[in-house]
Each structure stands twice: as structure tokens, then as C-alpha cells.
Amino acid sequence: MESDTIPVTGVEDLEKHLDELLADPNLLPTPKLFDDVELQLTDANILPLVPRLLPKITEILKQYQQDPAILCSLAIKLLGPLSFTQILTLASEEALIQALRSPAPSANLLAMAVLDKAAKSPSDAAILAMMNNVVTNFLTQWLSAPQVEVGEKGSKVLGDLLDVDCDTRPPDGLSVNGMEIVVRKPSGQGLVWRRIFHDRDIYDLILSLCSSGQLGAQQQSLAQGRLLRVLPRLAALNFRAVTWTDFSDLNRRYANTDSNGGLLHFAALYMIDKEDKLVHLNLIDFFEAFLSIQRITPFSTYKMDTLTKLLRDATAQDDILKASILTLPERTVPEEAEDLSRFIQEILNSQ
């Protein structure tokens, strides 16, 4: 292609500037040098520049004292054509963890952009599942970051990773209200699922960040909202994984219940303070999304029994939630309203 022969101007000046930043972590970056190069980058000309620029940016970020947004923006652009395993040859696990732990949201987003690459194939997701410290720090920052954009990016990356890694996915995919929830593609290996749902320390981490008060009231509410928003999608992929746990002692510690109900039960029944109107609205939104999706997931007696008990327990002392569930069909698209109404009545009438 002709574009291959068009050189990117300003690369030498940017390289020199990167060396200066490497030598002096207190030096302020010169935005124009970064912008001039970044605006010229295309799929055709990025690859030769990756080994020239990305390792230097990675090294600068390890020691940088200023806002790294401009560095991270260029790094994300350079990562575009690379696979997860290619990136791991340029940035270590330690560098990823450092970026995830950074107080700068741009660094968090850069690290999550790398992890998003692992969601492109089951084999890459399996490699990430073995990187225990990376997964732990990712989940911590997803729930702990005050910035909305970090929470949203983390939710998407987590959902995509568990999607590509899922070994029980519905074979034909799933769509609700015209929106694709589960894409039709080959099954994964289930290693990310096992890391999150069967690793005691990670399961403990999620429950503690969402309920123990260690994040402070406002951030805990954000964490709870993030967990509630991702669970309907995860329940569509692997209902059993999110509704059952072997760690009943952790349920006892964080939810004061002896049940073996999984992360979904914890979030739906025990996690939130219903006196907090904003978080209660999040719970109502969760149930509406959850039931709309469960209507079209494959039938099983386990699923229907679990939904019956879950709704009975959730609505027993919550008239607002019950009214919202009963009127949900009125707020869905007409062609799906009748089936959804029948589905909800079947669950409620089993109680």
C-alpha cells in the first residue's frame, strides 16, 4: 500500500523527548510532540514504531511523577494492532500491576486496554487467568476507582473476558430487545471463571470491597453498582457459576447467611442498604435486566427453582421491587412483553 511508504514525521524528535523524560521523571511532557505523531498513526504505519516507542513509554510510566495521560494515549494507539501475547513481550506483569494501581485514571485505562486484548481469544484469556496478581489488581481497581470511565471500562473488560472464556455458553448466542448479550462463538476454557469464582482470595476480595465499608460509603455504592450491572450478562453465560459458591463461610462473614448462594445472591439479597435510595434503584435496574435476559436463556429446573427462591426472598420485604418486577413487561418492547409477563408470572406463581 502507498501509505506504507509515507514516513511518520516527528518520530525522531519524540524519541529524543522520551529519552529526556526517562532521564528526568519530573520533566513536563511537550504535548505537541506526542500529538503530531499520534495524529499520523494508522494501521499501516504503527507496527514499525512500536519497538521504537512503546518500551520507552513503559519505562517512563514506571517512574513518572506527572499526569501520564498524554503518554497513555499514545501507548493505547500503539497497542492497536498488537495481540495480548505480543504486548507481554514489551510490558511485564509488574508494569501492568503498577499501571492498575496508579492513582491516574489514564494509567488504569491503559492497563485495562491491555487486558481487553486477552478477551480477543480463549487462549489469551487462559494466559491471563494464570496471572493471579494481575487479575487481583484489575478487580480491585475496577471496584475501587472513583472515576466513572475506569469503572465502565473495567466492567466491559471483565464481561468480555468471561464471555470469551466461557465453557458453557448458549450455542446460538442471545439477544434481548434487539441487543446481542451473548455472541455466537466457540466455547472457551473456563479458566478465568475458575480464577474469579473458585479462587477463595479473589472471591473474598469482591465480597469485602462491596460490603465491608473499607472503601467508604460513596465508593462502596459505586462498587456495588458496578457489580450489579455486570451480573445479568454473567448469569446469561454461566448461571450456575454466579448462583452457587463453595465458600459458604465467606457468605456468613459478609452477608450473615449460611447459604451456598453465589455472587448473584450476595448482590441481589444481602449487599445493599435498601434505605439508600440510589443503590436501591441500582438493585431494581439489576432485577429488570436480569429477568429480561433470563427469559431467553435455556430452560432448566435448576434455573427456575433458583429464580423462584431468589425472587421470593428479594421481594418479601421490598414492595417497590415487587411492583417494578410486575410492571416490567409494560416497559419492554411490545413483541417481547407478553412472553416476559408469562415468564415472571410463572416464577411468582411457583412461590
pLDDT in tens, 308-318: 999 999 999 99
pLDDT at 185 over 80: no
Which are the contacts of 317, defined by CB distance < 8 A and separation ≥ 6?
none
pLDDT at 134 over 80: yes
What does the pLDDT average to over 176-184? 62
Beta-bridge mates of residue 175: 180
Look up residue 161 and give its DSSP letter.
Answer: H
pLDDT at 1 over 80: no
CA angle 132, 135, 137 (to 5 degrees): 105
Residue that the C-alpha cell 499526569 belongs to: 67
What does the pLDDT average to over 175-180? 64
Rounded-to-integer distance, Cα 33 and Cα 26, Å: 18
Rounded-to-integer distance, Cα 104 and Cα 145, Å: 10
Is the distance from CB of 73 to CB of 109 less than 8 angstroms? Answer: no
Q: First CA to last CA across the chain, in angstroms?
A: 66
- Residue 179 — very low, low, confident or very high, per pLDDT cuts 50/70/90? low
User: What pLDDT is recorded for position 205?
Assistant: 98
Task: Give the CB-side neighbour count of residue 168, counting CA atoms within 13 A.
Answer: 16
Rounded-to-integer distance, Cα 52 and Cα 266, Å: 48
For residue 233 the three cell numbers come to 450478562
DSSP of 158-194: HHHHHHHH-SS--TT-EEETTEEEE--------HHHH
Between β-strands 174-176 and 179-182, what pairing exists: parallel, antiparallel or unpaired? Answer: antiparallel
User: pTM for this one?
Assistant: 0.92
Task: Using alpha carbons, list the distances in angstroms from residue 33 to 9, 15, 70, 71, 72.
Answer: 10, 9, 10, 11, 14
Q: Give the pLDDT confidence of 198-244 residue by residue, as tens digits.
A: 999 999 999 999 998 899 999 999 999 999 999 999 999 999 999 99
Q: Report the mean per-residue pLDDT for the chain.
A: 93
Is the distance from CB of 214 to CB of 145 less than 8 angstroms? Answer: no
pLDDT at 2 over 50: no
